[in-house]
Every structure is written in C-alpha cells, then in structure tokens.
Amino acid sequence: MPTQIELSKLDSLLASADHGLRTVFGKPPAARSSPAGALSQDFTLTPDECRLAGALMRVNHVGEICAQALYQSQALLTRDPELRAHFAQAAKEEMDHLAWTRQRIDELGSHTSRLNPLWYGGAFVVGSLAGMAGDSVSLGFVVETERQVEQHLATHLDRLPLSDQRSRAIVSQMKEEEARHAEEALAAGARTLPSPIKKLMKLAARLMTRTAHYI
C-alpha cells in the first residue's frame, strides 16, 4: 500500500503537470495589474512597428513559459522547504510576466509561439537536471538564467519602437524583477556555474529567441 510520502510526491507531480498544461495551453491570470494598464492605447503604431513589437513580446512570452517550467522542476526536486517556497514565489511573479506579455501580444494582433509545448518540455528537462545536481547548482542556474534574461530584455528595450510605451513599460518591469530574482538566488547560496555551461546556456537561449521571433 502506498505510503503518505509517496502519495505526497504523486500529488506534487500531478499538480506540476496541471500547472504545465495551464501554462502552455491556457491564459493564466496575473495577480498584479500590468505596468501598461495606466497607459493609453497606442493607435499610432505602424503595421511594421506592430509586427516587430509582437515578435519581441512573443519571444518574451516564450521566456516566461520556460521560466515556469524551470521553477516547477526545481521546486519538485529540492528537499528544502524554504527553497521550495523561494521557487514558488519567483514563479508567481513570473506568472504575472506571462500574463502581461500574453495580453500585450493580443493587443498587438500577434500570436504566441506555436512551439510552446516544446519550449516548456525542454526547459522542464533542463531544470530537472539542474535540480538533480543539488540546490546550490540549481540556484546557480537561476542566477545565470535571470542575468541572461535581463540582458536580453535590455536589448528589447533598445529595439522596441519608442512610441510603443505599453510594451516598453512591461519589459522594463520584467527586467527589474528578473535582476532581483538573480540577486535573491545568489543570496540563497547559489554556486557559480562553469564557463562552458554558461556558454551552452547562451547558445540555447539564442536558438530559442531566434526561432520564437518567427514561429
């Protein structure tokens, strides 16, 4: 007969699977108002500007799909309740980012990536590998991921049309919070990852962003 511990693990796996399905195929709501909410609609954007902004926000949305997968897998594999709570809180803020970018994509008349199930599955595997390597490595992976995302968002602020204040407000808020997530992971005991791992992560991120820009 299954023990209570086994049932608890099964419940966690089922909850994680449900979360993944809702992340990829649903439209999870944000707990906080979008930074773009107080700004007026930008009817002055040209069709080309809308297409560019839509593509960039699609890439950002994919990043948030991956963030959910990473935090879910890492939370499942840690045995530290405090660290699990840390991952859960970060994932909650990232869920707001997911909702904000999806809303903006809809406003721009664009679409989310058709490869979202692939992005989520791949990120979940990577997060699981990091989690199996130990908590300090898992946190180190968070630090490097968030720092790369922060740099990536900075380039989007350079590329977004100056008149697209709604997208820019969202990206600015995301950039600020990604930087904080990296600092919190560092303070929690993150280990610095080897240089080859960092380079591999950058290569994978470049492949993802270039593909998601169009598909």
Q: What percent of the chain has pLDDT over 70?
A: 89
* Burial of 75 (C-beta count, 10 Å sphere; 0-12/13-18/19+): buried
pLDDT of residue 209: 87
Confidence of residue 7 (pLDDT cuts 50, 70, 90): very low
- How far apart (Å, rounded) are the C-alpha atoms in residues 65 and 91? 10
Please tell me the pTM assigned to this model: 0.86
Amino acid at 12: S
From the number of C-beta atoms within 10 Å of its C-beta (0-12, 13-18, 19+), residue 98 rates as: buried
Q: pLDDT tens digits for 41-85? A: 766 888 999 999 999 999 999 999 998 888 888 888 888 888 888
What are the phi and psi torsion angles at 27 (to 5°)? -130, 75
| 11-25, 81-95, 116-130, 145-159: least confident range | 11-25
Q: Tell me which DSSP letter residue 28 carries.
A: P
- Tell me the CA distances in angstroms from 8 to 12, 13, 14, 162, one per residue in order: 6, 9, 10, 50
Domains defined along the chain, listed by start: 64-212 (1.20.1260)
DSSP annotation of 44 = T
* Alpha helix stretches (DSSP H) within 26-46: none
**Which residues does 141 contact at the CB level (< 8 Å), separation at least 6?**
70, 74, 126, 127, 130, 193
Judge whether 84 and 141 are in contact, CB under 8 Å: no
